[in-house]
Amino acid sequence: LLDRHVEVSNTTINLEKRYLNETEDYRVQAQTRWSKAYQKKYAAQLDAWLRELTGGERPSGARTEATYEDPHVALITLSASSKPDGERVGPVDHLEALQSSWRSTYHAMRNTLRSLGFESSEWQYDRRAEPHTGKRGEMGINECYSHEHVVLVVDGEVTASDLRPIVEKHVEKNEWAGSAAHGEDAIEVRKPEDLNDVAAY
């Protein structure tokens, strides 16, 4: 994984832009998900998606009207142990194991929202695996190990306890996910005006 990251970091992509008979050559630096530029780009996409659903000011200064009348934003964190049997596993194996339960977790999310009376048109989600920065834990021991963020936007009031079955299904179906790491703080529900930066939670 490290070799691949270094290889990509040292790679320049040569491109050509063509318009009618005019061409322009330019170069861009290759990126991986650990690159700051990559993360900045996808954070901007996440902000734009959230703005379309909940309304707000665009970077241009114009305002976007909300798609949802009463949006609530649920921030759900899913994780898995990097030392499931007492021995550390590699970051790629860890990420695959972390994501192995998503299908069941997604069905739990859909069924939970349906049981709460929400139609499929009344909720959307964005799911991203993000590497830990190394700022937490003993000596940055989890740096490069991922956790998943599910940003769920619902057009109507929901609570963390309403959405608890989603996290419980992840813990049930993921052999490396422990219940201790998925306590009450695994789900937060906020109104859009109380959410400063969805990418930073």
Global pTM value: 0.81
What would the pLDDT profile of 22-61 be if each residue is shown by its tens digit? 999 989 888 877 777 887 888 889 999 999 999 999 989 9
Coil, strand or helix at 190: strand
Contacts of 29 (CB under 8 A, 6+ apart): 9, 11, 12, 13, 37
Q: What is the DSSP string of 67-100?
A: SSSSEEEEEEEE---SSTTSSPPPHHHHHHHHHT
What would the pLDDT profile of 160-180 be if each residue is shown by its tens digit? 999 999 999 999 999 999 888
Q: Would you state the structure tokens that stand for residue 128, as one six-digit string?
A: 């991203």
